[in-house]
Amino acid sequence: MTRILLTGNAAAAWGARLAAIDYVPAFPITPQTEIIETLAVWIDGGQMAARLVTLESEHSMLTAAGAASVTGVRVFTATSSQGLLYGMEMLYNLAGWRAPLVLINVSRGLSAPITLEPDHNDVLAARDSGFLQLHCATCQEVVDSVLLAYRLAEDPQVRLPVIVNLDGFYLSFTREPVALPDPAAVADFLPPFSDCGLYFRGGQPSSQAMAVLGGTAYSYFRYQVHLAAEQAAAVYAEVAADFERRFGRCYSAVEAYRCDDAELVLVMIGSFATKAKAAVDGLRAAGQKVGLVRPRLLRPFPSADLRQLLGHRKGVAVIDQNLSPGRGGILHTELAAALYGLPDGGPLLASFVGGLGGRDIAAAEFAQIVEVLRQAVQEGIAPPPRLLFTEEELQQVRRLQAIAHGSRDKDGEGTA
């Protein structure tokens, strides 16, 4: 199969194009903007039969997306970071509306301080919204995940919106060889949008997203969202198996890399997991029994898969590219919950936080993480959570502070 070089953003746009979407409510934000620009060019040029409308905010963008979805068309939209948070109110609404649309989030660290490069605090802020979440590590996975996401979202047992996440810069602006699936084969895999009889039409009045009074009706609808999200685990497995049959690429809910005999396992999501893979290769070459586990599906959380993959290991290090201040890494917490109560106590679990705002994680740091984990396993005591930051980085910040203070002091003299 021919492969072409595509950025992660272009791959996301190709996913939308192949999915034959009808409608794109849009709003620009770095590092996502290339996606909507690409779609706009295709739509203007007649290569896609869709409508793109730029709203005035992500809040409105998501509202229009949900409203169009429940009016009966296939909707695609994209955002990043502050935009995702600006629209957060509507994320919860759209899940409650059971709007089966796909939202790309191109991860970027959250303000303050404002920055451009990625971490996962943005998408994890949407963790409890009712959107399902797929996390990508390569550009190929981005285009394929958009197709998987529509099948999952529109399945009658699910009917929930899905976020497909890719990391800003490291994936959004990185060109990788991508095999584009054949449009006819995609059309076979992903049938035309089914409204499931839920849409607005004259002569058949319906009300959607109505108020409820009291906890009983409220609980019922909230539980429905939860149960649908839980059912999505089995549906995802079917959809991924079908995709693999047709296209030859396997996207299990959790990827296990060189885990067969691994005693120590790293757990990561997103594109930085490819750095971890390279580190695993290096450590394997040095004779260490180390592997990597990468959840693709984060909602529903693949607890059973993770228990099966990790329950019998000696040690597991979770590397969180996010930070819940006052608690630590979010995935660490989630994984600890999934592994809690195993008959033999389960693996020793260690927590590391790194890669915030696009900060690199070097091969040497992966090696050190594994060393800390090995030590902890030997001692049988989980180490305190670690925030990755080097002495050299601290010196860098000290130099910036010296400049900031120096110029302030000088200004002070000038005005005295």
> Which residues are 317's β-sheet partners?
266, 350
Residue of the chain from 5, 217, 278, 397 that contacts other proteins (CB under 8 A): 217
Look at residue 251 and give its three-state secondary structure: coil
Q: Is 55 in the site for other proteins (CB under 8 A)?
A: yes
Q: Pick from 251, 258, 321, 298: which is nearest to 128 by CA?
A: 298
Both tokens of 131, joined, read: 């959107």
Of 205 and 287, CB closest to other proteins: 205
Q: Is 367 in the site for other proteins (CB under 8 A)?
A: no
Q: Is 19 in the site for other proteins (CB under 8 A)?
A: no
Q: Is 364 in the site for other proteins (CB under 8 A)?
A: no
Residue of the chain from 5, 41, 187, 209 that contacts other proteins (CB under 8 A): 209
Q: Is 61 in the site for other proteins (CB under 8 A)?
A: yes
How many Cα atoms within 13 Å fall on the side-chain side of residue 206?
Answer: 11
Q: Is 46 in the site for other proteins (CB under 8 A)?
A: no
Of 221 and 389, CB closest to other proteins: 221
Q: Is 219 in the site for other proteins (CB under 8 A)?
A: no
Residue 413: CB atoms within 10 A of its CB come to 7
Rg, Å, the chain Cα set? 22
Residues 174-203 that bind other proteins (CB under 8 A): 199-203
Q: Is 268 in the site for other proteins (CB under 8 A)?
A: no
**Residue 154 backbone phi and psi in degrees, to 5:** -90, -5
Q: Pick from 63, 76, 79, 64: which is nearest to 29 by CA?
A: 79
How many residues sit close enough to other proteins to count as binding (CB under 8 A)?
41
Q: Is 68 in the site for other proteins (CB under 8 A)?
A: yes
x/- binding map, residues 87-126, to other proteins, per CB under 8 A? --xx--x---------------------------------
Q: Pick from 101, 116, 182, 106: which is nearest to 139 by CA?
A: 106
Q: Is 315 in the site for other proteins (CB under 8 A)?
A: no
**Residue 62 backbone phi and psi in degrees, to 5:** -70, -35
Q: How far apart are CA 25 and CA 40, in angstroms?
A: 11
Of 88 and 179, CB closest to other proteins: 88
**CB of 225 vs other proteins, minimal distance in Å:** 15
> Which residues are 299's β-sheet partners?
133
**Applying CB under 8 A, which residues contact other proteins?**
22-23, 25, 51, 53, 55-57, 59-61, 63-73, 89-90, 93, 199-213, 217
